[in-house]
Structure 1
Amino acid sequence: MVADGRPPPAAGRLRPPSLGLLLAEARGIFELNASILLSPLLLRAPRGDGHPVLTLPGFLASDLSMAPMRRYLGELGYAAEAWRMGRNVGGVARLRSQLLDRLAEIHAAASRKVSIVGWSLGGVYARDLALQAPEMVRAVVTLGSPFANDVRATNATRLYEALTGETAEAYPELRAAISGDLPVPTTSIYSRADGVVNWQTCRLRPSDTAENIEIYLASHIGLGVNPAALWAVADRLGQAEGQFKQFDRSGPFAIAYAPPEQAQS
């Protein structure tokens, strides 16, 4: 047994975050309050060009959870869109066609490519949409999304499997594709202090159009409202279509970001 009373993981397996980190998730309310207090500073982020941004909520969450994100992006000049599919009760394979229909609807209405911001499980959906319809997707930003490595290393895995009837490792070919390189610019935002998802499952393979951004001390339930995360999302979406450069950590929330070497090691 290990220090927190749980058995060690099987060889090659990652462990879910500790009980201490899970209990510390309550700090997410402070991250929301910080964003409200720092809203004048957050609104200094690069202005949007009006292109649509589809926001996808995490497991068991609804569009309400992404309302602060949509409001912020709307104030910056984006056409922030909800997923309009009720509560996210999961099922990566089950929801593929519905999500693709929603993406196509937004794309057709705007006659422009759509950026996708997905929180936790919503980020897994976002990556899959980019694989299904790269011609409709401008960029993908994920927040604490477990798409890589040992995707069972979360504190929500058992509940996900019980509610969906789908194991976390079902559809291995689809899972492998989602964890691989995407055909569009991609950013993964995560925190080593995440109490729900093991941060190592959130890291993509860095490239000229893909990057990891680690935020110090952010919680899982607070990532979508954390001021440093919001700034990073806005900065990434503010890039011109077809262009990509690595995130500049010298902005107003510089102290909150791990350096690139640490974030990608």
Structure 2
Amino acid sequence: MATRFSRLSYSDAIVRTSSGVGRGTDAPALPLLAREALSFAYMRTSAAFASTVELDVAGNGRPVMIVPGFMASDQTTSRLRRSLQDAGFSAHGWGLGRNKGIKADIFERLDKRVAELDIDAPITLVGWSLGGLIAREYAKVSRHNVAKVVTLGSPFSGDPRANNAWRLYEFVAGYKVDNPPLDVTLSEKPPVPTCAFWSQNDGVVAPGSACGLIHESDQQIELDCSHMAFVARPDAIRAIARALV
């Protein structure tokens, strides 16, 4: 089954301002998860071979860092970064290899990475899935380094097991999802502007977890895509770019 994705422009995307009632808060159903396999193949192929997406915004040198999802690396976010770079953003990977979970030294490593980039202005963080949780928490402890946080299907709200990845996460990371090696409150909004992208067709993370309640982020935007498509589909990349300016 092909991955569904709307042809809506960013201006047509559904910007949610309600309390979150009606959004799924249970882990996505197995048929949606099964579709993620096809979407994963599309994402990997797009990252390696697809052309950049033409964007209708000007980056004007704005610094952006893309934080990959669980078990992903900068390679998987390549199409998104290349497209932003072509539009004039100063787009960077996180440079920390494969994301195998939140570690006790993650904030120190991100501080070092930001320093290495030698950027004069605060950076905007775009975090995909687990990468969004890391981005939100980093913004709380390094407020001076962060201009904005954009999350893509990131489960920052509600039950940390309202997804289809928590068992694998616990196996790889070596700790329970509700007992990370850092003192964090995932649902607490960072002290910077935030935007949360979410999808009812996400096969990995519950829509309600990625959208959150109204006080947990400044803006919530719904897209019609799979979890893997957030960093690969042209419409998603265009929407993300517009959220950065």
**Which TM-score applies when normalising by structure 1?**
0.75
Q: 5+ unaligned residues in a row in structure 1: which ranges?
A: 1-12, 239-265
Give the alignment partner of residue 24 of structure 1, picking from 35, 39, 44. 35
In 2, Cα distance between equivalents of 1:126 and 1:167? 20
Provide the secondary structure at the position in 2 that maps to 1:179: coil
CA contact (8 A) 2:158 2:212 kept: no
Aligned residues: CA RMSD = 2.4
Offset of residue 154 of structure 1 = 1.3
In 1, Cα distance between equivalents of 2:149 and 2:103? 17
1:122 aligns with: 131
Offset of residue 96 of structure 1 = 2.6
2:184 aligns with: 175
2:208 aligns with: 200
In 1, Cα distance between equivalents of 2:104 and 2:156? 14
Provide the secondary structure at the position in 1 that maps to 2:143: coil
Give the alignment partner of residue 185 of structure 1, picking from 183, 193, 198. 193
Question: Quick check: 164-173 or 144-153, which moved more?
Answer: 164-173
The residue type equivalent to 1:17 in the other structure is: P
In 1, Cα distance between equivalents of 2:157 and 2:183? 12
Provide the secondary structure at the position in 1 that maps to 2:231: coil
- Rate the CA distance shift 1:44–1:163 in 2: closer, same or farther, 3 A: closer
In 1, Cα distance between equivalents of 2:26 and 2:212? 18
Instruction: For residues 122-168 of structure 1, give each alpha carbon's deviation from its aligned partner in whole angstroms, at most 9, with x where no partner exists.
Output: 11111011111111111111101111111111111011111111211
In 1, Cα distance between equivalents of 2:214 and 2:103? 24
Give the alignment partner of residue 236 of structure 1, picking from 230, 234, 243. 243
Q: Which has the larger radius of gyration?
A: 1
2:229 aligns with: 222
Q: Which has the higher contact order (CA 8 A, sep 6+)?
A: 2
Provide the secondary structure at the position in 2 that maps to 1:117: strand
Instruction: For residues 210-246 of structure 1, give each alpha carbon's deviation from its aligned partner in whole angstroms, at most 9, with x where no partner exists.
Output: 1000112x111111112222111111112xxxxxxxx
Offset of residue 179 of structure 1 = 1.3
CA contact (8 A) 1:27 1:222 kept: no
Offset of residue 95 of structure 1 = 2.0
Instruction: For residues 61-86 of structure 1, give each alpha carbon's deviation from its aligned partner in whole angstroms, at most 9, with x where no partner exists.
Output: 11100111110100010111111111
1:156 aligns with: 165
1:99 aligns with: 110
**Which TM-score applies when normalising by structure 2?**
0.80
In 1, Cα distance between equivalents of 2:128 and 2:162? 17
